Amino acid sequence: MKKIIYTVLSILLVAATSCMEVDNWGEPDVTVRGRIIDSYTGENLLTTQGDWGIRIWERTWTASAPTPQTLNVKQDGTYTNTKLFAGRYDMLPYGGPFWPVDTLKDVVFNGNTEQNFTVIPYLQLQGFEATLNGLKLTLSCQLKAPIRNGLPNLVEIKPFLSLNSFSGASNFIDIPEYNNQRKQINKSWMEEVGDVETSKIYRVGPLPVKPGYTYYVRLGANVNDANRKYNYTEIIKVVVPADAKNDPTEVPDNFFNNAQWPFSRSEWDGNRWGNLSGWTTNAAMRTRNGMGGYDGGWEGAANDKKSLGFERWGAGETPIVNGKLYQTFDLPAGAYKLTMSLAGDNPIISNNGNDPRYIAATEGETLPDIENLSTALASTNFAGLANSGSTSIEFFLSAPKKVSAGFVVSFTGTEQNVRPSWLKLEKVD
């Protein structure tokens, strides 16, 4: 028994002695900093805080591939890290909105190291303007693509509004009123712009803002590469006066709200069907456990496709008889045009089947049944319209009126559905 005790004590003494050995590694105290430079302007490439970075690999001790570290790039296009070990490193700007660059080999980190990188951005956003009219903000810019050969497809132009000076994809006000105003493109530069370097002017908005608030706003545009990071405009500070109001006589570009893909929902079943935010849906349209007008697609909640939509597909499903989906407006006198388009960005566009489906506009706070559409201001049946097509109606008001506009459908057959890309009600005189 004594021999066992002595052995255990010996092991403990050896372990204690080992723990008392001095760690001769110093703390990391090397600073590395630099700029990411736009090759066309010579200025820093603007980004959003921590969106992408500089990958570094320490090569001091081994030629094998070590685990990379990332130095985050800041909003102003600079990076700084003050806690690195001295040594030799490989460096690579990675994951940003620019054409791929070569790895810079064997950069010596010692004391205070400065290393800049010059990159070629996919896009430049020029001529950025922010225009405040009452409580509505409109943003505009042009896109420039100095290299068009091999440029991935354009994806979108998106507004970013923040209540502090950090504004971009890592910090923005994430609400449907702003997200639904982004300009979906999803085309090649040649299809969208042509074989020229600079695009037309894109306008985003109007975006609702609040009186007395200060916003930091910018636009971002991206391409369909592996990262989809945004090239940005500069940030403009917008101060909304405390007494700001909208002009009650102002005529909007589109009287409809929530009328373009991606559509926003209010209630939904957590899987596919829901109610369309800002729209009135009658009981006949709500055939999906009391919901209707919003279709998230058939893959489930993880793949919500954000579509306006209504459907009767199988024989066991409830028919839609005079289902109505519409909005109501107080319109001034004048001529109007209502357009519904299937063509556009909706990934689940559909106009399947031949049962009656109308866009319509009528005086009052609801739409008539199909058999009474002769009383409407205007209507048209769009059954058979191809997925690349649009349809319109026009009407005239001799005096200000309350008008309802939207869809009236009767789906009593099977394999019937509608999922458009956008709607617009505009004053045309």
- Of 87, 153, 395, 385, the closest CA to residue 255 belongs to 395
State whether 279 and 233 are in the same domain. no
Provide, rounded to the nearest whole percent, the portion of the chain with pLDDT above 70. 93
Classify residue 14: in a domain, yes or no.
no
Residue that is written with structure tokens 């609040």 in the block: 210
State whether 136 and 95 are in the same domain. no
State whether 88 and 186 are in the same domain. no
State whether 232 and 128 are in the same domain. yes
Classify residue 37: in a domain, yes or no.
yes
Among candidate residues 71, 86, 119, the one where a domain is terminated: 119
Q: What is the pLDDT of residues 309-332, one digit of tens each?
A: 999 999 999 999 999 999 999 999
Q: What is the pLDDT of residues 162-196, one digit of tens each?
A: 999 999 998 999 888 888 788 888 889 998 898 88
CATH number of the domain enclosing 81: 2.60.40.1120
Classify residue 323: in a domain, yes or no.
yes
Q: What is the pLDDT of residues 266-303, one digit of tens each?
A: 999 999 999 999 999 999 999 999 999 999 999 888 88
Give the pLDDT score at 130: 94
State whether 114 and 200 are in the same domain. no
Whether residue 151 is predicted with pLDDT greater than 90 in this model: the reply is yes
Classify residue 423: in a domain, yes or no.
yes
Whether residue 203 is predicted with pLDDT greater than 80 in this model: the reply is yes
Whether residue 14 is predicted with pLDDT greater than 90 in this model: the reply is no
Classify residue 256: in a domain, yes or no.
no
Average pLDDT over residues 116-140: 93
Count of structural domains, the chain: 3
Classify residue 353: in a domain, yes or no.
yes
Residue that is written with structure tokens 């000076």 in the block: 165
State whether 62 and 162 are in the same domain. no
Give the pLDDT score at 15: 45
Query: Which of 93-97, 152-156, 410-414: highest mean pLDDT?
Result: 410-414
State whether 175 and 85 are in the same domain. no
State whether 188 and 324 are in the same domain. no
Q: How far apart are CA 51 and CA 97, in angstroms?
A: 10
pLDDT confidence band for 26 (50 / 70 / 90):
low
CATH number of the domain enclosing 143: 2.60.40.2060
Give the pLDDT score at 94: 87
pTM of the model: 0.63
Give the pLDDT score at 18: 47
Q: How far apart are CA 135 and CA 157, in angstroms?
A: 22
Low-confidence winner among 57-66, 114-123, 182-191, 368-377 (lowest mean pLDDT): 57-66
- Of 2, 202, 111, the closest CA to residue 10 belongs to 2
Whether residue 38 is predicted with pLDDT greater than 90 in this model: the reply is yes
Give the pLDDT score at 104: 86
What tokens were used for 196?
């020229």
Classify residue 9: in a domain, yes or no.
no
pLDDT confidence band for 25 (50 / 70 / 90):
low
Give the pLDDT score at 62: 65
Among candidate residues 119, 150, 170, the one where a domain is terminated: 119
Domain ranges, residue 396: 265-427
Full 3-state SS string of the chain: CHHHHHHHHHHHHHHHHHHCCCCCCCCCCEEEEEEEEECCCCCECCCCCCCCEEEEEECCCCCCCCCCEEEECCCCCEEEEEEECCEEEEEEEECCCECCCCCEEEEEECCEEECCEEECECCEEEEEEEEEECCEEEEEEEEECCCCCCCCCEEEEEEEEECCCCCECCECCCCHHHHCCCEEEEECHHHHCCCCCEEEEEEEEEEECCCCCEEEEEEEEEECCCCCCEEECCCEEEECCCCCCCCCCCCCCCCCCCCECCCCEEEECCCCEEEECCCEECHHHCCECCECEEECCCCCHHHCCCEEEEEECCCCCCCEEEEEEEEEEEECCEEEEEEEECCCCCCCCEEECCCCEEEEEEECCCCCCHHHHHHCCEEEECCCCCCCCEEEEEEEECCCEEEEEEEEEEECCCCEEEECCEEEEEECC
Among candidate residues 100, 119, 138, the one where a domain is terminated: 119
Q: How far apart are CA 48 and CA 169, in angstroms?
A: 7
State whether 283 and 416 are in the same domain. yes
State whether 355 and 310 are in the same domain. yes
State whether 160 and 141 are in the same domain. yes
Q: How far apart are CA 193 and CA 221, in angstroms?
A: 14
Whether residue 308 is predicted with pLDDT greater than 60 in this model: the reply is yes
Contact 397, 322 (CB under 8 A): no
What tokens were used for 400?
């200000």
User: What average pLDDT does the structure give for the chain?
Assistant: 89
Classify residue 257: in a domain, yes or no.
no
Whether residue 1 is predicted with pLDDT greater than 70 in this model: the reply is no
State whether 106 and 213 are in the same domain. no
Whether residue 10 is predicted with pLDDT greater than 60 in this model: the reply is no
